[in-house]
Chain A
Amino acid sequence: MNQIVPASKRPSTELVAPETQDYVTMFIDGQMFGIAVLTVQDVLGPQKITRIPLAPREVAGSLNLRGRIVTAIDVRLRLGLKRADEDNKGMSVVVEQGGELYSLMVDQVGEVLSLPVAKFERNPPTLDPMWREFSAGIYRLDDKLLVVLDVAKLLDFNKSE
């Protein structure tokens, strides 16, 4: 993530671009993902998580965030990737969906990027159908691609199962 130049350090022309969207970036398995910054309520470090037996395997458990119960979702498993290594504690991004809080567990959370809307592109057709479901679109950054996660679809366990 060090290669990414935060918005503030970019040349001024880009900074004053009229239409920009801010994204919280995060990494899973080396891939960069983004979530619109306004939907993010919290960024958490490793947490004590209570396992929930019989839950779908993507549900890592639940945790207590300032007196509210938050359901933790392992985004890796949700995207069809392998479970993270034991030693990788990971970080979480907390979002609200339908009045409930969910904590999206990722490998790492990066900076907030301000990206010009003009650079937003639709999903390439070659994208894995599972990813296509959860991706709202792609940003072409200088050195890598950022997949914008569709949080609503990511948390809709009824449709995709």
Chain B
Amino acid sequence: MDDLLSEFLTETSESLSVLDVELVKLEQNPEPAILQNIFRLVHTIKGTCGFLGLPRLEHVAHAGENVLGKFRDGELEVTPSAVTLILQAIDRIKLILGHLEQNECEPEGSDEDLIASLNDMAEGRYVAPGAAGAAPAVEEPSFPVAADLLAEVEAAYAAGKRAASDTDVFAEMAKERAKEEAAKAAAAAPAAAPPPPPEPPKASVPAVPPSPPAQTKEVVPAGTAPAAESAVAAQTIRVNVELLENLMTLVSELVLTRNQLLQMVRGRDDSEFTAPLQRLSHITTDLQEGVMKTRMQPIGNAWAKLPRIVRDLSVEMSKKIDLQMLGAETELDRQVLELIKDPLTHMVRNSADHGLEGPEERKAAGKPEVGKVVLNAFHEGGHIIIEISDDGRGLNLDRIKQKAISNNLATESELESMAPQQIYQFIFKAGFSTAEKVTSVSGRGVGMDVVRTNIEKIGGTVELKSYPGKGSTFVIKIPLTLAIVSALIVECAAERFAIPQISVLELVRVTNNSEHGIELINNAPVLRLRDRLLPLVSLKKLLRLSNGEDQETFIVVTQVGTYTFGIIVDRVFDTEEIVVKPVAPILRHISMFSGNTILGDGSVIMILDPNGIAGATGESGVLGGGQTTEQTVTRDKGNDSKTSLLVFRACGDDLKAVPLALVARLEEIDIKDVEYSHGKPMVQYRGHLMPLVSIDGTTQFREEGRQPVLVFSDREHTMGLAVDEIVDIVEDRLKVELTADNPGVIGTAVIAGKATTIIDAGYYLPQAFGDWFGRNDKEYGEDEGSQPRILLVDDSPFFRNLLVPLLSVAGYDVTAVEAADRALALREQSYEFDIIISDIEMPGMSGFEFATAVRADGRWFNTPMIALSSHATEKDFERGRQVGFNDYVAKFDRDSLLQTIASTLATLKGAA
């Protein structure tokens, strides 16, 4: 059976059994929430039927939905007869589904009678008894029975036997349904033999004696259950993904424990544990495979959207494109699949847009008019290989050379000595696009670098081969699963760290008298390795571990993207399989670590993030994220020229610095002059009160004597930052190398040869004034930077990486979060934004719910919101507007996003 159809059947039978229960609940207690749920379920069924081309089902569901819509709008009262009618519609749907399941097509017949009744009901002119009696059509075996029964019930009502209580109504309902079910069951047997002979309407009724009310309770479940459980539905169950993830984690732990045990026993030849261990090992492996399978999905799921995208492209670009997808059934981990989806789409777009020529050009080149884009996925040695190839013109070597030179990525002479395949790799650098004209789909140069970063994030690699006139091929290699990775264990300053094996190229042992020796260029260590100069980074210095004697002897040659560098460590142990666990929230800002894990010996170990280390060494070009931070910093602090910095010590021995231009004066204050008001220290200074703040927020000053203070001035307010000692004023390039997430700290820079913390003076000003002079953060923010602040909420890291640079370049100050609740947490922390851009489809809180929450209360309720979604239909627009979005933009439409932001902000300014 068609996958889509069987999925639909499973889902719909689930919905239907819920509907049965909910409808009965609704009758007893017409609450809007229940009604809403029912409406939604029926609506979903209708929508899916329409999509699958099942007109009969769709019409019945549609008519039912109409009636429910009237209920919802309060135009119709929820009466037992109305509910009965809806239940009939649902039974009809079940009947059709049953046929669908057996024959994969809708049964012959018409539902006009039922639909007519439903429509009459919707229009408020449904007269039950007479009409229903007349209605029976011969094609439907079960319906006449039901209609008759309905007539019976209605007649009973008309005769004044209206049920006195809910229980009675319930009983009545149940009786009726029981009859119906039985009738259907009776009808089903002959119906199975083709062609189904028309069943005389009355025939089955006598066989079913009305059940006495006492049996109601048993009858109801018996009545609903058999109809709901179709054979297809019974084959699969839905399991929460979280449960599977948990299972996977447990299995991973089990595998590790097994490995530990095996290692212990390996040394002994005649251990009594050997046999049971072997068995344990087998079972564990089987279990691991089994659990892995539950998480596997065919890669075709990630490709489903591609044919449509390519088709649209071919129309837009007037190209003829043939998209071939091979190996769609290749399975890979769900988590990996999610992460690979967007990069893949991007690359296929690129191939179709840049790679393939127009029909004319192709003809001229002697190729068939129709260009080919081939996607091929297959397994290879524990990895999944995905190839994306086109038979287009190939990459334009000259354009890439020009671009590389103009972007200062390489000099002409360097390019001369490079092989073409090497030069092609430049397209993975940020800001690189060779498309002569920027089209609506690609060519803005925010592309391949993000693709590469995303693939590398999941431990994959991407390679490129291109032949002029013949086309290009991208080969993506990704691990089957992210749960267990192999890592190299190293030691540095008596601490152990893990480095993911996939980024390790080789290990080099250095000694002073061997051919490999560490050399220094102005204190920067480098290594000559096979005619190449390898930049080195000392893990000890990077992690600021205590400076013991130098016994560093190993260099771990590491590759991040195209950037190769060496990490100097003390010792290298062996490799171990580890389960990556996220670090505690308070440590997430440290970019050097990608997680932590427990080793076989039970000790906790930090996992180094080669991306983070590469970023910290200054090679941020390969990193999407690192690049943006650096952009922000440089924009804040002007260009790369030298800045005067005031270096001081406060709260600890480490050096701290602020740009001198921000400091109004340096003062020493007699500690006796410090007064306290409101529990906060201050001094009288030049006729005004000046609040004093210290770096760590405490108010402990010197016991006596004079306290050095940096005076910051902002319009009429001054503030004193108490420091321990003013060290120096130096002029140096302010290049923040390590950015910190701590508020009040911009990051760490090397100033006059020493690592120095750069203090964010802007953080302390509102601390002193925020609640003192009633200056709120907003006002402060507007003084500080004229860039409009944007909050971007999107669960896809790909889109965040795509949009953040785009918006930053467009002159916005962007904060990106991955979930709606994170965004709301920012609201709690009193962050202010000029505009909020939110995705709609997000796990957890959806964009609609997020907008509702934002609009409900709190400080953001006036902030304009723009919805970002891949479903840009009129109905979505409407819903978006209802919950409070000001505008709605399709996800891939960057131009209109930028336009919308600009116009929304303009409106805002106009209004203010």
CA gap between A125 and B743 in the complex, in Å? 27
> Complex formed: what's the CA distance from A52 to B697 in Å?
24
The residues of A that contact B699 with a CB separation of less than 8 Å are 129
A64 CB–B CB distance under 8 Å: yes
Whether A64 pairs with B495 at a CB distance below 8 angstroms is: no
Bound form: Cα–Cα A147–B189 in Å? 77
Given contacts A54-B543, A161-B743, contact A63 B604 (CB under 8 A): yes
- B754 in the interface (beta carbon within 8 A): no
Residues from chain A with Cβ under 8 Å of B597 in the complex: 69
Cβ of A31 within 8 Å of any chain B Cβ, yes or no, is no
Q: How far is the CB of B603 from chain A (nearest CB, A)?
A: 6
Q: A41 to chain B: closest CB distance in Å?
A: 15
Q: Which residues of chain B come closer than 8 Å to A157, judged between CB atoms?
A: 586
Residue of A nearest to B539 (CB): A53
Chain A residues within an 8 Å CB radius of B495: 50-51, 53
Contacts of B606 in A (CB 8 A): 50, 52-53, 62
Q: Which of B581, B593, B698 contacts A130 (CB 8 A)?
A: B698
* Docked complex: A45-75 residues within 8 A CB-CB of B: 48, 50-56, 59, 61-64, 67, 69, 71
**B688-713 vs A, Cβ < 8 Å mask (1 yes, 0 no):** 00000000111110000000000000
Q: Is B596 an interface residue (CB 8 A)?
A: yes
In the complex the two chains form, what is the Cα distance from A159 to B697 in whole Å? Answer: 11
Whether a CB of chain A sits under 8 angstroms from the CB of B744 is yes
Give which listed residue, A61, A69, A80, contacts B598 with CB less than 8 A: A69
Given contacts A50-B495, A54-B543, contact A69 B698 (CB under 8 A): no
Contacts A62-B596, A69-B604, A158-B829: A129 and B586 contacting too (C-beta < 8 A)?
A: no
A160 to B593 alpha-carbon distance, docked (Å): 24
Is A87 part of the contact surface with B, judged by Cβ < 8 Å?
no
Bound Cα distance A54, B545 (Å): 9
Quick check: is A100 within 8 A (CB to CB) of the other chain?
A: yes
Count A/B pairs, Cβ under 8 Å.
74
Bound-state CA distance A55–B495 (Å) is 14
Known: A62-B584, A102-B584. A53 touches B544 (CB 8 A): yes
A69 touching B581, Cβ below 8 Å: yes
Interface status of A155 (Cβ within 8 A of chain B):
yes
- The yes or no answer to B602 lying at the interface (CB within 8 A) is yes
Q: Report whether A59 and B587 are in contact in the complex, using a CB–CB cutoff of 8 Å.
A: yes
Q: B203 → chain A, closest Cβ, in Å?
A: 62
Check B585 for interface membership: any CB of A closer than 8 A: yes
Contact B586 A50 (CB under 8 A): no
Shortest CB–CB separation between residue A58 and chain B, in angstroms?
A: 9
* Bound form: Cα–Cα A128–B545 in Å: 33
Whether A98 sits at the interface, judged by CB under 8 Å, is: yes
Interface set, chain A 110-131, CB cutoff 8 A to B: 125, 128-130
Tell me, rounded to whole Å, the shortest Cβ–Cβ distance linking A80 to chain B. 6
| With A52-B606, A53-B545, A161-B697 as contacts: A155 and B598 at CB distance below 8 Å | no
- Give chain A residues whose Cβ lies under 8 Å from the Cβ of B809: none
Choose among B587, B593, B829 the residue with the greatest number of A CB atoms under 10 Å from its CB.
Answer: B587
Determine whether B347 belongs to the interface, using a CB cutoff of 8 Å to chain A.
no
Q: Does B174 contact A (CB under 8 A)?
A: no
Query: A80 contacts which chain B residues (CB < 8 A)?
Result: 698, 700
- Among B590, B604, B699, max chain A CB count under 10 A is at B604
User: What distance in Å separates the Cβ of B132 from its nearest Cβ neighbour in chain A?
Assistant: 57
Whole-angstrom distance between the alpha carbons of A129 and B693 in the complex?
13
CA distance in complex: A130, B700 (Å):
10
Instruction: Write the nearest CB–CB distance from A99 to chain B, whole angstroms.
Output: 9
Judge if B605 is at the interface, Cβ distance under 8 Å.
yes
CB-CB nearest in chain B for A98: B585
Does A53 contact B587, Cβ atoms closer than 8 Å? no
A155–B545 Cα distance when bound, in Å, is 25
Interchain residue pairs A-B with the least CB separation, the first 9: A53-B543, A71-B584, A50-B604, A157-B586, A62-B604, A54-B590, A64-B598, A64-B604, A100-B584
14 other A-B residue contacts (CB within 8 Å) besides A50-B604, A80-B700: A50-B605, A52-B593, A53-B545, A54-B543, A54-B590, A55-B586, A55-B587, A55-B590, A62-B604, A69-B584, A125-B679, A155-B586, A157-B586, A161-B697
**14 contacting pairs across A/B (C-beta < 8 A):** A53-B543, A53-B544, A53-B606, A55-B586, A64-B598, A67-B253, A69-B581, A71-B587, A80-B700, A102-B584, A128-B698, A130-B697, A155-B586, A161-B697
